[in-house]
């Protein structure tokens, strides 16, 4: 992903990327996206775009491992998320899902991750401290809650599953208040062109629909052009 593509991806929402991947593939059926409803700490912020730094956590019950092991793994986690080429995004699976109770994400952890260079997080777990977390570090989570419970890191740098989406370390993730997608590696070189083609196609219906005097006859004409141009 070059700087030009990154700039473009930061300007478009996740549904646009999802559609553009289908444009690039020349067919419908792309399924590398989350299912269900997410909650965003910054719904109007620009999307989270970056290479995945992954981990698994749990919080409903205390860890059965010793405190020294848990502390060491937590520091190994921070070393992991701080490594690799930017931009990066944390993708963290809460193993208690769908009964998540402990927030791994709040003012301190969000601020630390932002300081380490990450641009945001995608998780099926809990977030808290809304209003105090950095506005330019969107947290896209499964729920909001007040407590950290017994939250601890279980695994680092492994494939994770978040809202039905499997994410491997290093995957290119695009996420916002709608959810997230993983961009297939073979699509990355042609994604910018696919986004521009998608936008041009959508204008065929959007521009007439926004003009005064738009009626059913003009809709039918515009829709015919739209249908002919889209995937």
Judge whether 128 is annotated as a binding position: yes
Measured CA to CA, the distance from residue 131 to residue 116 in angstroms comes to: 21
Judge whether 132 is annotated as a binding position: no
Q: Are 53 and 169 in contact (CB under 8 A)?
A: yes
Residues at the binding site for substrate are 128
Residues at the binding site for Mg(2+) are 129
Residues at the binding site are 128-129
């Amino acid at each position: 992903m070059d700087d030009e593509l990154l700039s473009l991806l930061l300007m478009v929402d996740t549904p646009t990327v999802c559609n553009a991947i289908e444009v690039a593939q020349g067919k419908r059926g792309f399924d590398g996206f989350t299912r269900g409803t997410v909650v965003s700490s910054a719904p109007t912020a620009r999307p989270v775009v970056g290479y995945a730094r992954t981990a698994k956590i749990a919080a409903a019950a205390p860890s059965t491992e010793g405190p020294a092991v848990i502390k060491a793994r937590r520091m190994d986690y921070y070393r992991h998320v701080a490594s690799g080429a930017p931009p990066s995004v944390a993708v963290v699976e809460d193993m208690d899902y769908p009964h998540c109770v402990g927030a791994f994400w709040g003012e301190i952890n969000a601020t630390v991750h932002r300081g380490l260079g990450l641009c945001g997080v995608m998780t099926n777990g809990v977030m808290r401290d809304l209003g105090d977390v950095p506005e330019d570090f969107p947290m896209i989570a499964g729920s909001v809650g007040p407590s950290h419970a017994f939250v601890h890191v279980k695994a680092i740098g492994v494939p994770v599953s978040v809202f039905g989406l499997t994410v491997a370390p290093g995957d290119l993730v695009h996420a916002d208040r709608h959810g997230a997608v993983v961009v297939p590696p073979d699509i990355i070189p042609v994604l910018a062109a696919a986004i521009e083609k998608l936008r041009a196609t959508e204008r065929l219906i959007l521009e007439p629909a926004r003009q005064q005097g738009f009626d059913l006859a003009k809709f039918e004409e515009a829709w015919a052009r739209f249908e002919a141009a889209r995937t």
